[in-house]
Chains A and B, each alone.
Chain A
């Protein structure tokens, strides 16, 4: 599918610019041109398709299903984690969603399964992983994220942490019976297109920066050069990747071009992926938002559990992928 794009990049960089194929600058620029076009095409298709599909799974519906489920607790966690993949929410909605779920009677642990799955299994990351690394990597990414969300939610639910939620959350008197709009397919297509354009406008700079760093690595860092430091041989590599990734903030779409370059340079796949998850799932802006509903202790527990989950994913990947 991307052969013509590669031809274009070759023609532009080696033909028009006249750079040598084996020069550092030529190879970096070629990577940059090719990846920029490829990733924006992938992003557009993936975001548009996912936005359309998930317009059928609004969080209001999810909440209704989860609040009604009085039977098996495990089923509640599984449902919450699955719905976390498809249910849209921009991080500025994290607080109203949290309150809305808890107020409607969704158990705290189940709410956390949802809140962990949503950023952890990022649908854009999933689509890009599939587009760039194939189905196997994409599947391990989803399954491990889901397991982390389910297990963490169960643990958090057992710890009786309700008193560590800010008191006002329980004192609100909210209307949980809001009417869910049911747009036509045409309206959904138009809404999804608008959303896709808005999202790409919001993340394009992160993507370009990610690709530019990737391009630089492509030109100047030889294959496997990082393997002695960040390869499988270093048991602390995953830990370091997470520690470096947490304070960084970017969109998943900006990190994936880097992930592919990191692996080429010899960083183990699991290590590169846990770096990506640390950057996207644990971000300072989102923590500040969640602090408005979670007392410091619960927020710390939440960060610790998600952090451990990411470490687990990293080691799991490194173990599975030979």
Chain B
């Protein structure tokens, strides 16, 4: 599983990345957390508000810092 964090690098993006990593260990799945910081790559997903979280190329949420539990739910949806 590949989890992408879309964001140009503000504090919210870093927080979402940390939450995603925590969610991965909490869900007990093997997943890679990747940061996407290039604006062109971010826009390709159609996202206008950062940070956004993409799991297996599907935009799960944007414009907010999802909590660990929310991300665990997303991971289970995409398993």
Contacts and interface: CB of A to CB of B under 8 A. Distances in A.
A48 to B, nearest CB: 15
Contact of A181 (B39, B61, B65): B61
Nearest to A194: B67
Contact of A96 (B12, B47, B59): B47
A60 B12 contact: no
B48 A97 contact: yes
B42 A96 contact: yes
Contacts of A103: 43
Interface secondary structure of B, over-half rule? loop
A172 B8 contact: no
Given A95-B39, A96-B39, A178-B59, A90 B10 contact: yes
B28 interface: no
B44 to A, nearest CB: 6
B26 interface: no
A93 B63 CA distance: 8
Interface string B12-39: 1100000000000000000000000001
A89 interface: yes
Interface string A280-302: 00000000000010000000000
B26 to A, nearest CB: 18
A178 B47 contact: yes
A58 B62 CA distance: 11
A90 B48 CA distance: 11
Nearest to A62: B48
Contacts of A175: 44-46
A234 interface: no
A93 B44 contact: no
B46 A93 contact: no
A179 B13 CA distance: 21
Contacts of B12: 90, 92, 198
Contact of B46 (A89, A178, A191, A292): A178
A63 B48 contact: yes
B49 A292 contact: no
A95 B6 CA distance: 13
B49 A99 contact: no
Interface in B34-75: 39-40, 42-50, 59, 61-65, 67
7 contacts: A60-B48, A90-B12, A92-B8, A96-B49, A101-B48, A172-B40, A175-B44
- List the 3 closest pairs (A to B, CB-CB), nearest first: A175-B46, A92-B10, A178-B46
Given A93-B50, A101-B48, 4 more contacts: A172-B43, A175-B46, A176-B46, A178-B45
